[in-house]
Amino acid sequence: MRYGRPVDRGVALVTGGSRGIGAAVARGAAAAGWAVCLTYHGDAAAAAGVVAAIDDDGGVATAVRADVSVEADVIAAFAAAANLGTLTALVANAGIVGPKARVDEMTTARVERILAVNALGPIICCREAVRRMSTLHGGGGGSIVLVGSAASRIGGSFEFVDYAASKGAVDALGLGLAREVAAEGIRVNVVRPGVIDTEIHATGGQPDRVERLTPLLPMSRAGEADEVAAAVLWLLGDAASYCTGSILDVAGGR
């Protein structure tokens, strides 16, 4: 899927870029002219596959293993991105979900892990991006897109309230940070996917979730990763030059 004629746009760091929405964003960003540094957590082969696909299409990409909840890993990922050139874009996409559970069934360890990856991780990534892109720090500006979830407004009841809460934090991060750095050359926006046909449902112990929910969706189908990626890339690019502090739902009317 191409998003326009390739140009030199600097470097885009995409967290969780080995599969699903992150992989679609990585491929699209490379096709649009960014050199791409993507992070992955466990599946090195999948990450290598995304890099190979970008290389085969004439783009530039590298992959680095990182747990976004670990500060040292995030800093190492930004160092790897710097090896490709000047950072101009961050897509904070990495996220996890736990097995279906009520709040009164959740362990502290589960909630801590979900908040660490889904809320702390994006904050650390944004901190490092601002330190490099802000004109206050000598940078040339850039764009940040946070991948949230429609769950933040739906609540995730009877499935994953902790996940929904973590994505509510992403919404707040996007709104607050956008105002902090608007005069420093950085735009910050949030994309909130709905039910998207990716592997995250299976990793959360519900491989049939998309099939179960499809009849309840206003458009009678789940979304595709490329559809979310298109929204992310629009917000990253110049066509969205007056958009900051925005929250864009890509949820098929849900």
For the segment 47-101, what is each residue's pLDDT rounded down to a tens digit? 999 999 999 999 999 999 999 999 999 999 999 999 999 999 999 999 999 999 9
Q: What is the pLDDT of residue 201?
A: 58
Q: What is the pLDDT of residue 8?
A: 83
Q: What is the pLDDT of residue 208?
A: 78
DSSP 117: I
Count the helix, strand and coil residues of the chain and give each as a percent rounded to the nearest 5. 50, 15, 35
- Assess whether 163 carries a catalytic annotation: yes
Q: What is the pLDDT of residue 215?
A: 87
Asked: is 11-193+228-250 a CATH 3.40.50.720 domain? The reply is: yes
* Those residues with Cβ within 8 angstroms of residue 172's Cβ, 6 or more apart along the chain or in another chain: none
Q: What is the pLDDT of residue 231?
A: 98
Q: What is the pLDDT of residue 3?
A: 37
**Intervals of the chain under pLDDT 70:** 1-7, 201-202, 204
Say which of 3, 40, 163, 242 is annotated catalytic: 163
Ordered by start, the domain boundaries in the chain are 11-193+228-250
Contact 18, 95 (CB under 8 A): no
